[in-house]
């Protein structure tokens, strides 16, 4: 039998132990579930580009391997989308179905952080274990500071209540720092945009790719070493950027959270879905 490895080499093997041989190598898809939205460029590039108008999309991501499927972020559930009157909204569950993934059956969901556009669709994944940094979880669910006006609107209290209901069940995995959650899928603490955002490093045929989520909103943030306006801790962001850059196999495999280029510059595999790697 001949199989293709993660690096593209062909192997001829006598007997097949798929547990070892499938190489835990993944493809990564970006799934647009809302947008485009427009804002001043200063929202996306810290304190500059005030006069520019920039578009951004809302995404979730799907990491697909031979043995495991991982959904990164949940997007927004239909009721939250209606409440926020989200333009261009399609349920993340419907977008996932276009690449053959049933939200009801997904077993692994990584929440990069607990802002509403990334976490308030968690109810769409009733069978999944949710992986989130413990510090992020504790901040949004337990720290009164998170309920001050400037922060409260960034999260979604009913979704947080749902996350609270998962406490002490097998459906919640609270991570402390970097942790491999499945072979070839590692969560990386990347503070800055929030108190404990986590990126996801993924083994792919092109090397290690990283879904940085809102560690950067646009590719430009990484390229120009310039954060977006939504930064909880700027010094931490600088360090996180260094960390992700050191871990990724090449700069073009470091993906942002909201850049429309993820929809435009990669092969489309279904409506609203592109293959990043």
For Zn ion, give the closer residue by CB, 54 or 214.
214
Q: How many residues bind Zn ion (CB under 5 A)?
A: 3
Please, what is the minimum distance in Å from the beta carbon of residue 117 to Zn ion?
5
For Zn ion, the closer of residues 114 and 202 by Cβ is: 114
State the nearest-atom distance from the C-beta of 161 to Zn ion, in Å: 20
* 73 lies in the site for Zn ion, by CB under 5 A: no
Please report, as residue ranges, which positions from 251 to 270 form the binding site for Zn ion (by CB under 5 A): 257
Stretch that binds Zn ion, among 60-68, 112-120, 170-178, 234-242 (CB under 5 A): 112-120
Query: Going by C-beta distance under 8 Å and a sequence separation of 6 or more, which residues neighbour residue 208?
Result: 201, 202, 247, 248, 249, 253
Could you say whether residue 24 binds Zn ion (CB under 5 A)? no
Binding residues for Zn ion restricted to 148-207, rule: CB under 5 A: none
Between 24 and 214, name the residue whose CB sits nearer to Zn ion.
214
Q: Is 214 in the site for Zn ion (CB under 5 A)?
A: yes
Binding to Zn ion (CB under 5 A) within 117-156 occurs at: 117
Q: Which residues bind Zn ion (CB under 5 A)?
A: 117, 214, 257
């Amino acid at each position: 039998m001949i199989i293709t490895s993660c690096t593209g080499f062909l192997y001829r093997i006598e007997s097949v132990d798929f547990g070892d041989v499938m190489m835990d190598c993944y493809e990564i898809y970006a799934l647009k579930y809302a947008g485009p939205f427009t804002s001043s460029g200063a929202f996306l590039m810290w304190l500059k580009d005030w006069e520019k108008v920039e578009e951004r999309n809302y995404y979730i991501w799907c990491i697909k391997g031979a043995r495991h499927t991982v959904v990164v972020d949940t997007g927004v559930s239909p009721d939250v989308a209606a409440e926020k009157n989200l333009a261009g909204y399609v349920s993340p569950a419907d977008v996932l179905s276009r690449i053959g993934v049933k939200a009801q059956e997904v077993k692994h969901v990584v929440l990069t952080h607990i802002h509403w556009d990334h976490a308030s669709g968690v109810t769409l994944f009733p069978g999944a274990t949710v992986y989130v940094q413990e510090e992020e979880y504790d901040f949004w669910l337990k720290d009164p500071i998170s309920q001050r006006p400037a922060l409260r609107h960034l999260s979604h209290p009913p979704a947080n209540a749902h996350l609270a209901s998962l406490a002490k069940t097998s459906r919640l995995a609270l991570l402390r720092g970097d942790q491999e959650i499945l072979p070839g899928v590692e969560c990386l603490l990347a503070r800055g945009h929030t108190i404990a955002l986590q990126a996801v490093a993924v083994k792919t045929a092109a090397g290690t790719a990283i879904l940085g989520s809102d560690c950067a909103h646009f590719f430009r943030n990484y390229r120009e070493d310039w954060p977006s306006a939504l930064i909880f801790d700027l010094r931490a962001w600088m360090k996180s950027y260094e960390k992700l850059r050191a871990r990724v196999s090449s700069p073009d495999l470091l993906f942002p959270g909201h850049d429309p280029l993820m929809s435009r510059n990669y092969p489309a595999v279904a409506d609203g879905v592109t293959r990043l790697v």
